[in-house]
Structure 1
Amino acid sequence: MNLLREGLEQKVVIPNETDKRLVIDNISKNYPVYKIKLEKLHYNDQNDRIATWMAQYKIENNIDKLDPSDRANYNNIIHEFITESNRDAIKKTQANIKIVGQQEPGVVLSDGRIIDGNRRFTCLRNIQKETGKTQYFEAVIIDHSIENNAKQIKMLELMLQHGVDEKVGYNPIDRLVGIYTDIIETKLLSVKEYADSVNLSESDIQLEVDKAKLMVDFLEFINAPKQFHLARHFNLADPLKELYLMLKKVKDDDKKEDLKNAVFAQFLTQPFGDTTRHVRKIKKIASSSKFLSEFLEEQMEIVEKVCDELEKYPTVSNKEINIIRSNEKIKSDFLHSTEKYVNKVDGDTIRNQPIKQAEKSFDSLDLIDIKIIKKLNQEQKDEIREKLDVIDQIVLDIRRELDV
């Protein structure tokens, strides 16, 4: 059914006498808003907000995509994904709609696919089921198809989904999956096009692209390719950012690869409760040119044990991960190794502190322009002489300690 033709004729679509301003194909204009019966609408299975949930469902059910021809079943499945992705947001939005109605119109395609407003649509479905009263979804209807206008629709969706009222509850891993799909895998959008759509800089999006690549590398490392829900389950958004920043500072490619695999192995085994804090400890070691090679040599012996465990499972899911994580010896080895080298780096930092402070003192004194001294008045000269007397005493005390 085309909502703008048959929908209006059959009165399942009703003009609302309001409009909503949208920018489509770089043209900004007002579009009329309609009231649409819920039964004539369906979710967008390509919505980034549910990317990890969709990936999990496809893997668990061994399918490539959901069947949209069975509209009721299709909507029920995605309804649950939207709900699970942020139950608190659903509860809050639903309570608000019950009191004041739908305040912000959504956006749908002429075939009924929802491009913006999935959460509002979910709440209206819940209200209709609870009350038995027919509900209408208020939305702009765009006469586009996702098959023929994929890029324009994705850019519009991103622009709307990242609007002020929709930012809450957007899981960062789902966003990384969307970026990986749209920029790396399908090449639907360039980094610039994505950045323009979400009103961020290209460098911000390039960082997300690099994190997305690390996420994919990690899932391949643990024999769980594209099981993006595992990255969500591990809460890897912040740890991936720390890993990216860590690797950026390592210039040697072999060390970089070993370091990445060592961190991946610890993402998997989770030797420390707070993964982000643990990765920051490793980052401290990675910043030390003195201890990094030694640390990696010890770490790679433990990584080999993790790889031996992974070889037992050609495909990894939560069940296998829990088995691997139950290996307390591997977790203990990782924890002990990391703590040992953190202490070495901290100790070295403390020992080098006097040298660094002496260098700072030299640099400060070296900045004094001797020629200016002659131009100072007597009071200023006396003040400098006082400071130099104190410095002379401090230098004398340090020299005595050095001679002991």
Structure 2
Amino acid sequence: MSKIDLIKLYNQGIVKKGVHNLNVPIKKFNGESYSGETYMIPLEYLYYNDQNGRIGVALSEYESTNGRIIPGHNEEYNLAIQNMIINDGENSTKKEMEKLKRDMHVKGQQEAGYVLKDGRVIDGNRRFTAKRLLQQDADITGDQYFEAVILNDLSFKNHDDQKKIKSLELQIQFGKLGKVDYHAIDRAIDAYKTVKVNNIMTAKEYSEYAGFGSTNEVNKRILEAELIVRFLEFSNADPENYALAKQLELDGPIQDLIPQYKKFKGQDNETQLLDSIFTKILQIRITKEDYKKSYREIVKNVVGTKKESNFIEEMEDVTDLIVDALDSSEPIKSNIELTSVLASNKSISTALSEVQDITGKFSESVKNHKERTMPITLMTRAINSLSSIDISVIPHLESKDKYQLLNKLEELKFYIDAIKSAGE
């Protein structure tokens, strides 16, 4: 297909006037407002936006198996993205898309989207997908049109334009009720690529456009994405195969790690420590162990303590064995391949069992330490509570309140005597 210009197609009568008029939340570079007028655009002149956060992650899964695909007016590309959107979340998303398709067939498109003049869909991917499904349905006759505002002065070839486009996407995504929320990994990768990889905007700007109030949330997402990339590299996977991270459900374990990662990032043992933790995550996912058990104890109560160096030392041999096994295989493309590589090697199965034993031992040690120190902790809390009492108010208490207070003091003295007796 030759170069598309939707405005020229409108002048030729192929694109038609729409029925909505939107309040566009961004302005042109000269400060003027966009008109917000919508247009009815034949689907053949539109294509999905590969720079969209959710689509970018889904696309990495397709490309890990099928190789790179050229975004744009390419039906293979559009069909691949369409299938990703339909299958994202499996049955629930399929049902939602089928419902949206039916609603749009009966009621029409109730909410307009945004597109660039070359046909790139900036907002409205699910509505665009529903329209495509209607057009592909042999039982439905008539051409389908996608209604959208055409941002005719913006292009992804211009860096400043990218920033304006991204600000629109963020304001729409976080500014409307009922929008389909991003998966946690999609959100992390979107912030990471926008701020760190492509330098489209700063963390502060991203935060402002998304309405977060501060940069803390953005920085947290960036750290999460950094850890995901490090994990993918550790696993001998393409560091841009973010879909593998979703398949392995890394968001929970990685988010638990972020507070500690902030502290040890840049330290001499950073790589060794991460490799040990990543080995534990692999073991969890392969053996289907609940990560909320020993993993959380390791991250919260071993990392950053005196036990940390011993943990790394005990994990070193099994970690090296697993890394060698992964590095000697073809690059990992999916969780199925990852499981296959690790499960097909008997020595790796033994190593995974050893990982479980090592981390279980450290987790148990932490629990035992907590139990031993719990009386001290509780006593400290009790002292802090008692010290907060304003003694000057006691003479002014009513008789019944004084009586109750003295009874409580006698009860407290009983427990103090019992504790002292047990300690002698």
TM over 0.5: yes
Residue 376 (structure 2) pairs with residue 355 (structure 1) = yes
Deviation at 1:61, TM superposition (A): 4.1
Letter in 2 for 1:236: L
Residue 205 (structure 2) pairs with residue 188 (structure 1) = no
Deviation at 1:78, TM superposition (A): 2.5
Pick aligned residue for 1:9 from 2, 8, 11:
11
CA distance in 1, matches of 2:177, 2:397: 62
Q: Quick one: structure 1 residues 92 and 164, their matched pair in 2 at CA, closer, same or farther if it must change by over 3 Å?
A: farther
Residue 45 (structure 2) pairs with residue 40 (structure 1) = yes
Moved more, 182-191 or 144-153: 144-153
CA distance in 2, matches of 1:20, 1:138: 11
The residue that corresponds to 1:113 in the other structure is: 120
Q: Quick one: structure 1 residues 357 and 250, their matched pair in 2 at CA, closer, same or farther if it must change by over 3 Å?
A: farther
The residue that corresponds to 2:296 in the other structure is: 280
The residue that corresponds to 2:340 in the other structure is: 323
Asked whether the equivalents of residues 47 and 120 of structure 2 are also in contact (C-alpha less than 8 Å), the reply is: yes
Deviation at 1:180, TM superposition (A): 2.2
CA distance in 1, matches of 2:402, 2:182: 63
CA distance in 1, matches of 2:266, 2:150: 54
Asked whether the equivalents of residues 79 and 122 of structure 1 are also in contact (C-alpha less than 8 Å), the reply is: yes
Asked whether the equivalents of residues 41 and 148 of structure 2 are also in contact (C-alpha less than 8 Å), the reply is: yes
Deviation at 1:289, TM superposition (A): 3.2
Q: Quick one: structure 1 residues 73 and 10, their matched pair in 2 at CA, closer, same or farther if it must change by over 3 Å?
A: farther
CA distance in 1, matches of 2:360, 2:32: 57
CA RMSD in angstroms, aligned pairs only: 2.8
Moved more, 248-257 or 104-113: 248-257
Asked whether the equivalents of residues 272 and 335 of structure 1 are also in contact (C-alpha less than 8 Å), the reply is: no
The residue that corresponds to 2:155 in the other structure is: 145
Count of aligned positions: 400
Give CA-to-partner distance per residue, 1:316-371, whole Å, 9 cap, x none. Answer: 33364123431432222122222222222112211212222222333333444555
The residue that corresponds to 1:247 in the other structure is: 261
Deviation at 1:134, TM superposition (A): 0.8
Q: Quick one: structure 1 residues 382 and 156, their matched pair in 2 at CA, closer, same or farther if it must change by over 3 Å?
A: closer
CA distance in 2, matches of 1:252, 1:187: 22
What's the secondary structure of 1:189's corresponding residue? coil
Deviation at 1:191, TM superposition (A): 0.9
The residue that corresponds to 1:203 in the other structure is: 216
Deviation at 1:257, TM superposition (A): 4.2
Moved more, 323-332 or 36-45: 323-332
Letter in 1 for 2:352: K
Q: Quick one: structure 1 residues 275 and 21, their matched pair in 2 at CA, closer, same or farther if it must change by over 3 Å?
A: farther
Q: Quick one: structure 1 residues 138 and 228, their matched pair in 2 at CA, closer, same or farther if it must change by over 3 Å?
A: same
Residue 249 (structure 2) pairs with residue 235 (structure 1) = yes
What's the secondary structure of 1:277's corresponding residue? coil
The residue that corresponds to 2:60 in the other structure is: 55
Structure 1 segments unaligned to the other structure (5+ residues): none
The residue that corresponds to 1:76 in the other structure is: 79
Q: Quick one: structure 1 residues 232 and 283, their matched pair in 2 at CA, closer, same or farther if it must change by over 3 Å?
A: same
Structure 2 segments unaligned to the other structure (5+ residues): none
CA distance in 2, matches of 1:54, 1:119: 16
The residue that corresponds to 2:144 in the other structure is: 135
Residue 230 (structure 2) pairs with residue 217 (structure 1) = yes
Q: Quick one: structure 1 residues 18 and 393, their matched pair in 2 at CA, closer, same or farther if it must change by over 3 Å?
A: closer
CA distance in 1, matches of 2:63, 2:265: 39
CA distance in 2, matches of 1:355, 1:288: 22
Q: Quick one: structure 1 residues 398 and 27, their matched pair in 2 at CA, closer, same or farther if it must change by over 3 Å?
A: farther
Residue 356 (structure 2) pairs with residue 335 (structure 1) = yes
Give CA-to-partner distance per residue, 1:121-140, whole Å, 9 cap, x none. Answer: 11111112211321111111
Residue 70 (structure 2) pairs with residue 66 (structure 1) = yes
Deviation at 1:283, TM superposition (A): 2.7
Deviation at 1:212, TM superposition (A): 0.8
Pick aligned residue for 1:91 from 89, 93, 98:
98
Asked whether the equivalents of residues 329 and 341 of structure 2 are also in contact (C-alpha less than 8 Å), the reply is: no
CA distance in 2, matches of 1:34, 1:252: 52
